Structure 1
Amino acid sequence: MSGSGLEQAEREIDKSLRLGKFCMRFIGLSFNPANNASEFMQQKVMLVLSVLGICYHVFSEIVYIGLTLSNSPRVEDVVPLFHTFGYGALSIAKVFVLWYKKDVFSQLIKELAVIWPVPPLDEDAQLIKNKSLAALSITQRWYFAINIIGVWFYNLTPIAIYFYQRFQGMEAVIGYVWVSWYPFDKHEPIAHVAVYIFEIFAGQTCVWIMICTDLLFCTMASHIVLLLRLLHRRLESIAVVDQPEDRYYYDIIENIKLHQRLIRYCNDLEEAFALSNLVNYVLSSVNICCVVFVIVLLEPFLAISNKLFLSSALIQIGMICWYGDDILHANADVAAAAYNSGWYRTDPRSRKALMFLIIRAQKPIAFTAMKFTNISLVTYSSILTRSYSYFALLYTMYSDR
């Protein structure tokens, strides 16, 4: 790729990652080195504050859950605490992955620019690229909006309840965003304000982490799918036009190299996200189950916030499973495309090379949860099924009280 082509590829990839990078700045992380010492210190301070904030937020919820279990182990008292705890625990896992693998992600972005499709492209290839980037942009914006709106519904609900109670002539006190434990009396005026601000900060930080990691994963996965689809199209066009036999062989070898590169790229990305995918897989069904229980049976004042939380949780794990499933099918289509090409017009050497491509493409490439399970729509279905099973159990326990 020429220098100008590489620069254009980097601009287009950077544009697709812009929303995720925007969120990363609020937790003190960046794929680019700091420009000066002041910016470096600012990033480190923000990262430390973000990590300490969400760690204490999760710790305080664990303590509160423990105290609740020891004092009143009723289903309706304990279940509402678990989905926010699960969200915070998932945020800790994801920020650790993002921080620990930051250099890996940066290198993957650079490698992607080398194989990124840049003009001149034929009409069909350009159409595939445009549709993929447009769909990705819509997904990113919707996911960003739902998460931001959801967390601010939680942040403002105590104030809304306060004014509602005042309007009804009831005794009103501004509550708190989350149900947490603190080693001091949080009802003192100054402590009350400080706790409220801290809980807004902790909740918003969790959302920034979730958005940037999920958008990074889905964006990179979407780009792999795009490249696999373009490879699919290139393979179908082999030997469609009469060319010298050496040219057929050269085209096939180039496609094999691209496919191998995409496989390595996918494996590197899978390894980087394996831990967060495992935590996501384990906690998602619990989070969905608990928030559905709360929506159906408890807390009418938090109905809108909890419904937005449910929407976010369903979209979050669904989006990851969708792109994981897309890669499985896109890679399988590579083998079909090679078989549907004009291989019968080529010489034995070219056919043999194409046969090796077909054999390799029949072996699935997939994202996994630490090799425990593949991330696909089948996984999404199992998460929803398990969530319903947990909900049915909790509902039975609640009804039999």
Structure 2
Amino acid sequence: MAVPSSDGIIVRLWEQYNVGWRLYKNLEQIPRHMTPYYSREQMKIMGNYANAEERLLTRRRVWQVFLLVKLTMFIVPTVIGLTESLDSIVEFSEDALWTISALYVFARWAFYYLKADQVDEIVDALEECHHEWNVGPNSEETQSLRRWYYHIETGLSVCWHIGLMFLMALLILAPVWTSQQLPFHAVYPFNLHNPEEHPISYILIYISQSCCVIYFLPWLLLTEFLSCHCFFQLAANLKILCIQLRNLNQFTGHGDNEQIVAMELKKLIEFHQKIMHIVDRVNDVFYNPLLTFLLANFILLLLCTFAALAARHQPLVAGRFIMTMPIVFGALIYWSKCGDLVTQTSQDVAAAAFEAYDCPLWVTRSSIIQRDLMFLIQRAQKPLTIGARAPLPAFNLVTCMAVSSATPKGRHQHQQQQQQQQHKHKQRQTKTESETETQTHSEVRFS
């Protein structure tokens, strides 16, 4: 396989955003690929997506070994550095925060090194769904929905990249406005991290840590996009299924409409079955990443909140935690909202099938169509959920609020929300009692 030129690499990196800009200028086009496809391509360009095809390349295998050594050399000194921070709560919390983050990156690297082929199966299956229902009677509505989802996913990706750039600058330039010597506190043998004793090795370590930040954080963001936007695509395909079901009555004008409707309905049932299979594969393949993501975010939120409160008299130190908290909490909300979209749209399938069942023009004349629609309604009664496998709860906003309420700040906000809800409930109860009492008095006066 030939090595792509630098221009080709740049074009492939920016292709997702170039396509989004062309779609914005021409509303009649549809994206050729979905956003998870582009995220996978970007990870391949970075040389950190070890599927079967990439592992056949010698340079990719060498690069993977280099990344493993590089990540290990970053994690081990930071773990050793924790022993020097035991005397200070703020320093220990900060070191623990970045150590856990580095371990999370390592877990992500291990997952995509071992499971990239299974992730390919999910992305390829969603890519097939992406090209369905784009031609036909309802193609305009379907294409509009696909463009809308593409713009939303691409726009959110740009926002996340901007926030990540600020975080990277904050981490790399931390020694400029703080007393620490390196971006991350680490202990190396022979005191190599000391700038006074070993200035050259200190500069090399500084550059090494900065390169790790510049490479691994954008790659980590791409892994999150690849998984989250798969959930977005599942929701988009479920909405397209609802559109097709609600427009089944357009075939009533045909002469042999019952056979046409039966064939279309069979295609829709198979499409729904395909989506259900992809959801099962997502829950199976992404189970460990979801579990590690939930645990890591829970610990990071606790550390950020605690360390920010402990360092409230040191604004420069507390600023790093305050900057990290929205990113960690935003990632949790992002994943949870994606899971919510899948659950909500899967419940809409039953309502759309019932609307088709309620059409009296052809349903009353075909028992086969009635049977198929009732089967689809019954099967769609159970909502599709992401990550609903013990001990991991369903990944939705309820789980997000449960995790956030475990932090001191989140618990305080959760208590305030509960108090507000109780206050509103008491007001409604008082209003209902007063209305009942007024109605009773009026009935007495009338009698």
TM-score category (smaller protein): 0.7 to 0.9
Is 1:368 matched up with 2:426? no
Matches of 1:352 and 1:262 in 2, distance apart?
21
1:195 deviation in Å? Answer: 1.4
Report the alpha carbon displacement of residue 54 of structure 1 after superposing the two structures with TM: 2.5
1:274 aligns to 2:287 (yes or no): yes
Measure how far apart 1:68 and its partner are: 3.4
Please state how far the C-alpha of 1:24 moved relative to its aligned partner. Answer: 4.8
Scaled by the length of structure 1, the TM-score of the pair is 0.83
Gaps of 5+ in 2: 1-28, 413-447
Aligned to 1:208: 218
The answer to whether 1:348 aligns with 2:367 is yes
Whether 1:124 aligns to 2:138 is no
Alpha-carbon separation, structure 2, partners of 1:10 and 1:264? 26
Partner of 1:111: 125
Q: Which residue of 1 aligns with 2:65?
A: 48
Taking a change above 3 Å as real, the CA distance of residues 106 and 54 of structure 1, as seen in their structure-2 partners, is same
- The AA in structure 2 aligned to 1:94 is R
> Aligned partners of 2:327 and 2:64: how far apart in 1?
24
Given residue 235 of structure 2, which amino acid in structure 1 is its aligned partner? Answer: V
Quickly say closer, same or farther: Cα 1:307–1:206, change in 2 above 3 A.
farther
Question: Is the aligned partner of 1:178 residue 2:184?
Answer: yes
C-alpha contact 1:324 1:366 (8 A) present in aligned 2 = yes
Q: Which amino acid aligns with 1:208?
A: P
Residues 295 and 303, structure 1, Cα contact 8 Å, conserved in 2: yes
Answer with 104-113 or 23-32: which moved more. 23-32
Task: Look up the SS of the partner of 1:175 in the other structure.
Answer: coil
Aligned residue for 2:33, secondary structure, equals helix
More contact order relative to length (CA 8 Å, sep ≥ 6): 1
Counterparts of 1:277 and 1:125, CA distance in 2: 30
Following superposition, the deviation at residue 389 of structure 1 comes to 6.8
Query: In 2, are the aligned partners of 1:289 and 1:391 still within 8 Å (CA)?
Result: no
Question: Residue deviations 1:334-353, cap 9 Å, x none?
Answer: 11111122445312221111
Match of 1:324 among 302, 327, 339: 339
Matched, 1:287 2:300: yes
Partner of 2:74: 57
**Mapped partners of 1:309, 1:260: distance in 2:** 41
Query: Given the alignment, which residue of 337, 341, 350 partners 2:352?
Result: 337
Q: How does 1:1-400 map to 2 (within 5 A)?
A: 12-13=32-33, 17-19=37-39, 21-29=41-49, 33=53, 40-69=57-86, 72=87, 75-116=89-130, 117=132, 118-119=134-135, 121-158=138-175, 160-161=176-177, 175-185=181-191, 186-187=193-194, 188-242=198-252, 243=254, 244-298=257-311, 299-345=314-360, 346=363, 347-368=366-387, 371=390, 372-388=392-408
Retained in 2: the 8 A contact 1:140–1:215?
yes
Q: CA shift at 1:142, angstroms?
A: 1.2
Counterpart position of 1:398: none
Give structure 1 stretches of 5+ with no counterpart: 1-8, 163-172, 393-401
After superposition, the C-alpha distances for 1:101-128 in whole angstroms (9 at most, x for unaligned) are 1112222222223222434553322222
Matched-pair contact (CA < 8 Å) for 1:367–1:374? yes
Displacement of 1:135 after TM fit? 0.6
Distance 1:156 1:45, change over 3 A: farther
Distance 1:295 1:391, change over 3 A: farther
Deviations 1:81-118 (A, max 9, x none): 22212211211111111121111222222222322243
Paired-residue identity, %: 15
Give, in angstroms, the shift of residue 42 of structure 1: 3.0
1:308 is paired with a residue whose SS is: helix
Q: Deviations over 1:57-99 (max 9, x none)?
A: 3333333224434xx2x53342222221221121111111112
Q: After alignment, is 45-54 or 124-133 more displaced?
A: 45-54
Q: State the alpha-carbon separation in 2 of the partners of residues 21 and 152 from structure 1.
A: 26
Contact kept in structure 1, 2:335 and 2:395, CA below 8 Å = yes
Q: Could you tell me how far apart the structure 2 residues matched to 1:293 and 1:20 are?
A: 36
Taking the aligned partners of 2:68 and 2:259, their CA distance within structure 1 comes to: 57
Task: Say if 2:36 and 2:226, in contact at 8 Å, map to a contact too.
Answer: no
- The structure with the largest alpha-carbon Rg is 2
Native 8 Å contact 2:97 2:303 kept in 1: yes
Across the aligned residues of Structure 1 and Structure 2, the Cα RMSD in angstroms comes to 2.8
1 CA distance for matches of 2:329 and 2:359?
Answer: 47
Provide, for residues 119-163 of structure 1, a one-character-per-residue CA deviation record: whole Å limited to 9, x for no partner: 4553322222211111111111111221233122211221x327x
Kindly tell me: are residues 184 and 114 of structure 1, through their superposed partners in 2, closer, same or farther at Cα, counting changes over 3 Å? same
Matched to 2:402, the amino acid is S
Q: Which moved more, 1:24-33 or 1:141-150?
A: 24-33
Question: What do the CA deviations read for 1:154-206 (whole angstroms, capped 9, x no partner)?
Answer: 11221x327xxxxxxxxxx8710001222231111122112112211333343
Offset, 1:20 = 5.3
Whether the 8 Å contact between 2:346 and 2:383 is mirrored in structure 1 is yes
Aligned residues of 1:318 and 1:380 also touching (Cα < 8 A):
yes
**Matched residues, number:** 367
- TM-score normalised per structure 2: 0.75
Task: Please report how far the alpha carbon of residue 317 of structure 1 lies from its aligned counterpart in structure 2 after TM superposition.
Answer: 1.7
